[in-house]
Structure 1
Amino acid sequence: MTVDLFTCRYQRFQPAMGSPVRTTAGLPRFPLTYELAGHAHLISPTWAMVSINDQATYRGQYRLLLDAHGLDAVRAELQAIADQATDPRLVLLCFDDLSKPDGWCHRRMFADWWTEQTGDDVPELAEPPIASLF
Structure 2
Amino acid sequence: MDLATCTYQEFQPPMGAPIRTTAGHPRFPLGYQLAGHAQLITPTRELLAQNLPEDAYEFTYRRLLNDRGIDRIHAELVGLAARNGGARLVLLCFDRLDQLRPADAWCHRIHFAKWWLEQTGEEIPELGARPATPPPSLF
Aligned to 1:35: 33
Alignment partner of 1:81: what SS?
Answer: helix
Pairwise CA RMSD of aligned residues?
1.3
Unpaired runs of 5+ residues, structure 2, are: none
Q: Which runs of 4+ in 1 moved over 2 A?
A: none
Alignment partner of 2:9: what SS?
Answer: helix
- Percent same amino acid among aligned pairs? 53
The amino acid of 2:83's aligned partner reads Q
Q: What TM-score comes out, normalization by structure 1 length?
A: 0.93
Unpaired runs of 5+ residues, structure 1, are: none
Alignment partner of 2:52: what SS?
Answer: coil
Aligned to 1:103: 105
Bigger CA radius of gyration = 2
Distance in 2 separating the partners of 1:83 and 1:132: 41
Distance in 2 separating the partners of 1:60 and 1:126: 24
Distance in 1 separating the partners of 2:52 and 2:69: 25
Q: Following TM superposition, by how much is the alpha carbon of 1:54 offset from its aligned partner in structure 2, in angstroms?
A: 1.1
Q: How many residues align?
A: 132
Matches within 5 A, 1:1-134: 3-51=1-49, 52-86=51-85, 88-99=87-98, 100=100, 101=102, 102-134=104-136
Q: What TM-score comes out, normalization by structure 2 length?
A: 0.90
Alignment partner of 2:4: what SS?
Answer: strand
Distance in 1 separating the partners of 2:33 and 2:52: 30
